[in-house]
Structure 1
């Protein structure tokens, strides 16, 4: 077992003996001269504690892995700072692209709706114009029909007047013929009286 207090005490003892004797002599300690473990108060340094804890953890992990029968898997090394920044930039770029695609789709939908509304309004306008033109054509046709009916009636009355005028002329001509006959009859009667 590792006992650093015993080693340090041995070094101090050997250094003091060499100073007193003035010459080098090998270190020989009897069991009585060695310090007791209970009397030595040792405070381990931080690096020694961390190293011992790491060895104990490795020992415990090795035992558990050996008991479990599974191979020991080493943890992934931590990623570099540039890798993390690149991954963050890549994710932000993906989010930006997704947001841009959503905005483009929304704008495209709005444009399509606006075009559809414009086509609907133009169709309604054309229908209203067609209906106005049709109504005006109907009214013009009614007026033309009324004028034609009136002209036909006037023509019919004119024809009737002409027919009545021709009848009147026939009567007048017949009367004139009869007057000629009447004027000749008295002349014949007068000749008879003379005879």
Structure 2
């Protein structure tokens, strides 16, 4: 195989050849040096020594520890024996009988301020009032109001910012509706 180069100099196997000689060099004419190496030694693996008999089960079963009564778990915190010490929007602080504190932290609100300015647990249940439907103890203050076109909309508010959702071109519905399609009370069977 003949290698043709147009470069000024060619470096092959550590030799630098000027441009004139590069055109006539064949890679078959070059001899690369042989690398020294040692022959591979194959060894047989040795088996470990010792007793490899299966372990026998103990003659008697160990006594099982007494299980504690199930603790009250709320919002992912085991509140068994804990007393609530303080609340804020994103944390609850509990104290046990020994004075140790357990702090529950959350990236989402755990508590909301009530009308008296105290932190209380969030209540997500919608309820009716003379002002309409809504949730009183919730950080988003969700409520259902009548919109400009006479329909209803869900409104959420946080730090003075308000967002509303409504259905466009939806037929009026009842507050109570059947859960299962076969419970449709308006269609006779």
* TM-score interval, smaller chain: under 0.3
Normalised by the length of structure 2, the TM-score is: 0.17
Q: By percentage of residues, which structure has more strand?
A: 2
Normalised by the length of structure 1, the TM-score is: 0.17
Larger RCO: Structure 1 or Structure 2 (Cα < 8 Å, ≥ 6 residues apart)? Answer: 1
Structure showing greater radius of gyration is: 1
